[in-house]
Amino acid sequence: MTVVRFAPSPTGLLHVGNARTAIVNFLFARKTGGKLLLRIDDTDHERSKKEYEDGIIEHLAWLGVTHDLFARQSERAPQHQAAANLLKNIGRLYPCYESQLELDRRRQRQIASGKPPVYDRAALALTAEDRAKLEAEGKHPHWRFKLSQKKVAWKDLIRGEVEIDTAHLSDPVLIREDGRFLYTLPSVVDDVDFGITHIIRGEDHVTNTAVQIELFEALAGTVPAFGHHPLLIGAGGEALSKRLGSLSLKLLREDGIEPMTAVSYLAKTGTSDPITAQPSLDALVAEFDLAKIGRAPAHFDPAELSNLNAKLLHLLPYDAVADRLAAAGVGGEAFWETVKANLTRFSEVTSLWPLVVGPVTPVIEDNNFIAEAAAALPPEPWDETTWNVFTKTVAAASGRKGKELYHPLRLALTGLDHGPELKKLLPLMGRSRALARLKGETA
């Protein structure tokens, strides 16, 4: 069975770039009949916060991105330590005692002499006596993973054939001087233990993949398939930052973006499919294919997202919003069908509801003309043909047409210079309210 994972760090707000990775994994899991693991990578104890973890879970649920499995890395320290011990025993994890200052100076010398700033493995030459002496002096080692210094190749699910020569990489530090694990080892151990079959993530992890493949092999784990999608960037080409709250899901929710708008946009942007608002997650699953993801960075444009949100609202049937309308204390199906074409955010229904029930303060530009219109109001019952009958009568009496006819009528009936179609709105407000407004009364 396909098992994929989304592994955010709870160190900030979940932004649209990370949410896109979550959505891609979710759609891939559903398309292949597999499972999605939500793994909270909370090994950075200083910056990880419960409030961010709660926010990640809440905002993914808002999107409809559900997970089948759940784990926290902080609760799996024994498994991580066991893997570290194994790597030490087979000689793939070795202690190093250089300070950060020493490493920086060494890199500067390498660069000055035209050499690549790669760790020179000096610590491998230390004897047991050397290490004992350093530790007696109070130095604690950090631990590096010994790379094969061979080429690592894989067929990327998105990028195609990829090859990285690990001879050009520094042996990565897996354990800090204080004994805490960095990201790489816990990630691979958890991927092995949870049977992750596919790792789909941003292309900023491509180089990490070569290291992780060697770690999988050293731990005798099955190497997953890898896919690296281009990063999502801002409309101006800027990077997205979760720590700054830039384009976070929290911000989108507060701005009134519909969850299906956000999911549709993030699922389709950067692919060969047109960006359209999909009515359901099932529709997105049916159309999903990793082969559709392009190689160029995908731009996140808030204006484009806002336009898509409006288009989604315009398509929603009454049944999809009935409960939300009731919760907002506004009218039923006829009202929704009247106003939805004018919405960019659902919350705007509350500002349009007074057009039906009042109060509206009319704007009268020409008293004589509006008085003629009031006299021409037909008797009830009214329906969507009433507006056409009414305006034809007023046009014949006044000689007006076009904007000269319709604009002052809209101002008098709604107090606005734009809004829902009056042929639909007029029957909802009713004759008595319409007449009062045409007489200049707030109603």
pLDDT in tens, 284-320: 999 999 999 999 999 999 999 999 999 999 999 999 9
Over the stretch 99-141, which tens digit does the pLDDT of each residue have? Answer: 999 999 999 999 999 999 999 999 999 999 999 999 999 999 9
Q: What average pLDDT does the segment 384-394 reach? A: 97
Parts of the chain belonging to CATH 3.90.800.10 = 79-175
Contact present, 324 and 346 (Cβ < 8 Å): yes
Angle made by CA atoms 7, 22, 60, in degrees to the nearest 5: 95
pLDDT of residue 247: 84
Parts of the chain belonging to CATH 3.40.50.620 = 3-71+184-232
CA-to-CA distance for 144 and 105, rounded, in angstroms?
19
CA-to-CA distance for 135 and 300, rounded, in angstroms?
51
Over the stretch 188-235, which tens digit does the pLDDT of each residue have? Answer: 999 999 999 999 999 999 999 999 999 999 999 999 999 999 999 888
Q: Which long-range contacts (CB under 8 A, 24 or more apart) does 162-165 make?
A: 162/206, 162/209, 164/206, 164/207, 164/209, 164/210
Q: What average pLDDT does the segment 401-425 reach? A: 97
Contact present, 211 and 145 (Cβ < 8 Å): yes
Over the stretch 245-270, which tens digit does the pLDDT of each residue have? Answer: 568 999 999 999 999 999 999 999 99
Contact present, 184 and 92 (Cβ < 8 Å): no
Contact present, 346 and 321 (Cβ < 8 Å): yes
Parts of the chain belonging to CATH 1.10.1160.10 = 249-315
CA-to-CA distance for 349 and 289, rounded, in angstroms?
37
Q: Which CATH architecture has domain 79-175?
A: Alpha-Beta Complex (3.90)
pLDDT class for 241, splitting at 50, 70, 90?
Answer: low
Parts of the chain belonging to CATH 1.10.10.350 = 357-438
pLDDT class for 238, splitting at 50, 70, 90?
Answer: confident
The answer to whether the pTM exceeds 0.85 is yes
In this structure, whether the domain defined by 357-438 belongs to CATH 1.10.10.350 is answered with: yes
The HSE-up count of residue 211 (CA atoms within 13 Å, CB side) is 20
Q: Which CATH class is domain 249-315?
A: mainly alpha
pLDDT class for 279, splitting at 50, 70, 90?
Answer: confident
Looking at the domain 3-71+184-232, which fold is it? Rossmann fold (3.40.50)
